[in-house]
Amino acid sequence: MTARIVETNSTPFETVEVDAVTVDIIENALKNVRVEMDAVLFRTAMSPGIREQGDCFPMVANKDGKMVVGQFGSFIHGFLEAYEGDIEQGDIILTNDPYMCNAAVSHLPDWIVLVPVFKDGRHIAWTAMFGHMSDNGGMVPGSIPIKAETIYQEGIRIPPTKLYKKGELQSDVLELILHNVRTTEWNRFDLNALVAACRTAARRCVEIAERFGDETFQTTMQIMLDRNLEAMRQIIRMIVPEEKRYFEDFLCDDGVGKGPYKIACTLWREGDKAIFDFEGTDPQAKSSINFYMNEEMFKMFFGSFTINLFDPHILFNDGFYELVEVRIPEGSLLKPKFPAALSGRTHALGRIFDVMGGVLGQSTPDAMNAAGFSDSPHLFFSGYDKKGEWFQLFQIGFGGIPGRPVGDGPDGHSLWPGFTNVPNEFIEAYFPLRIIRYEPIPDSGGAGLHRGGNGLSVAYEFLVNGEIAVHDERWLTYPWGVHGGEPGMRSSKRLVRKDGSEEWLPAKCDGVKVREGDVLYFNTWGGGGWGDPYERDCAAVLADVHRGLVTAAGARRYGVVITSKNTVDVDATREMRAKLSDTRGETSLFNFGGGIEDIKSRALEETHLPAPQAPHA
């Protein structure tokens, strides 16, 4: 089953000589195309998740589907293998079903638009973008039902479908899709915005080819891919050892009382090829936390991770994929069997970055980060406002970035660098709630020579009756520290009722009824610390105390004694650091906050929540 590109001009492209100046001009033009895609989308989308937060990922690929510029790696390869049919000029493809496109997307709320770019009858490129829709139908508002056991419960499944055929909108198909979602107008505008962004990028590709010639355009895109291939070849030889390295981390729970779930990875190199083997990862869950991880998607994660760590000036694209082999066992948490539920895949997707950092960092420990805010926790709030109109809020929370070799982790940041927070003023203007607290949580970042970033405490006061859902992680396991750094603080969710009573909510729950005047304290987790906290400059600790990022009591985690006048007691600090260092002894590369069974035994006391049961007992 493969797609067939229909060309009216089948003249093959020839490889030509392209000078360095022309390559740079075309490369920068394509970078600008990617930026323009975002600009078009953000100016025409309607939902706050896309328009304000930027929950979308653009791409320009060559005619073979390899991403040349973009943000999230190519999903076209998986689509082309799965789609059976002709693709012609003017066609625009829409899909959202992971099982129908080889996991080109990983859950149903992400809608992909793909545009084949033609010039003079020849297929010259692809443009594509996917965005997270506010709703996809299904069991709950927001379409990420925690208790779903199959994908059929998670909303409408759109197989690879021609939204446009030869330039003509298939209105009946569009209306059928929109009939199955709660936020019809938002989805309509957001989908139109995705199409507009891809069409704009397609026009720009044609303009570049018209200016420089089709062969020069094609050859330059291949040169850009080859540059990435050679750069990654050097990085892989530098950071991936021939001897095997192993690392494991955990998802805390599945939302239905089972957990934690292990993600295991073994890494080694054979020649120029890095091999990642996820054997040992737990079997798939019965609930929706499964992450159908396409092998090409993981290669993209690996490339993005390493390039940003070692040389952010390298243009990230798909050129290096032949240098990576990914092995994922069937029926595991990372490759569940149809029709397993997938909507809550965010948690495992984010945890992959911690696993990747842990397994890669063992060979280059001086360059590794601690564990950080490896998730995009969600808050949903829905119901009817005082005018009787339906509302539906989808919020992504931010938290602490890990301590790093180069310095402290930022406070209150997103897992995805391109995301921005939705302004509080926007939220309060469009939804019936009030944000009465938005501030970093002191001491939530792990102590270290370089401090982990603090998590955020956001307090939402609900102004009408409604229903909320929470999707979060790291309430049980800790974001680990490295090189003697301490773990970060875990997340918590506390609901204070109008009458003063309070409830500690599970990290994953939906269908929670709230009433006017109730307040939810949505506290995210901090990043792990990097390096020995007793070696941190006392002046830096004092500055954090003055800024409200570390308390005077929390300064003692660094062995620093703060006086009542908010100054450092130098003598007491020297004495305390010597005593603490002797008591602690030698540090290890990782500090997980204890073994997993020890962490589970302390769960109720420290988190106000019982430990989950073994996932597959």
The pLDDT tens digits of the residues spanning 482-503 come to 999 999 999 999 999 999 999 9
Mean pLDDT for 302-328 is 86
Mean pLDDT for 374-382 is 93
The whole-number pLDDT of residue 84 equals 85
Mean pLDDT for 201-227 is 97
186 pLDDT more than 70:
yes
The whole-number pLDDT of residue 73 equals 67
1 pLDDT more than 60:
no
Between 268 and 72, residue with greater pLDDT: 268
The answer to the question of residue 274 being in a domain is no
* Residue pointed to by tokens 């209105």: 171
Question: What is the total count of domains within the chain?
Answer: 2
Which H helix or E strand runs over 131? strand 122-132
3-state secondary structure (DSSP) of residue 1: coil
Q: Quick one: which of 577, 598, 473, 505 has its CA closest to 534?
A: 577
Q: Domain ends where: 177, 193, 227?
A: 227
414 pLDDT more than 90:
no
Check if the beta carbon of residue 108 is closer than 8 Å to that of residue 340: no
What does the alpha-carbon distance between residue 141 and residue 144 come to, in Å, rounded to a whole number?
Answer: 8
C-alpha radius of gyration, the chain, whole number: 25
The answer to the question of residue 598 being in a domain is yes
* Residue pointed to by tokens 């939906």: 510
528: which residues sit within 8 A by CB, 6+ positions away?
370, 371, 372, 402, 403, 446, 448, 452, 478, 479, 480, 481, 482, 485, 486, 487, 488, 591
Check if the beta carbon of residue 344 is closer than 8 Å to that of residue 284: no
Q: What pLDDT, in 10s, does the model give residues 344-362? A: 999 999 999 999 999 999 9
β-strand 85-87 against 3-5: which pairing, if any?
Answer: parallel
Q: Domain ends where: 184, 199, 227?
A: 227
599 pLDDT more than 80:
yes
The answer to the question of residue 170 being in a domain is yes
> Where would I find the beta strands (DSSP E) of 194-314?
245-251, 261-270, 273-277
The whole-number pLDDT of residue 77 equals 76
553 pLDDT more than 90:
yes
What does the alpha-carbon distance between residue 74 and residue 63 come to, in Å, rounded to a whole number?
Answer: 12
- For residue 550, the one-letter residue type is V
Q: Quick one: which of 612, 154, 187 has its CA closest to 344?
A: 154
Q: Quick one: which of 493, 562, 478 has its CA closest to 526?
A: 478
The whole-number pLDDT of residue 617 equals 64
Q: Which of 152-156, 237-241, 281-285 has the lowest mean pLDDT?
A: 237-241
Distance of CA 92 to the CA centre of its chain: 26
Q: Which domain holds residue 81?
A: 3-227
Mean pLDDT for 165-186 is 97
425: which residues sit within 8 A by CB, 6+ positions away?
none
Between 417 and 27, residue with greater pLDDT: 27
The answer to the question of residue 220 being in a domain is yes
Q: Domain ends where: 204, 227, 250?
A: 227
The whole-number pLDDT of residue 325 equals 97
The answer to the question of residue 315 being in a domain is no
What does the alpha-carbon distance between residue 400 and residue 16 come to, in Å, rounded to a whole number?
Answer: 48
| Average of per-residue pLDDT values in the chain | 94
The answer to the question of residue 523 being in a domain is yes
DSSP string over 459-486: EEEESS-EEEEEE---SSS---EETTPP
72 pLDDT more than 70:
no
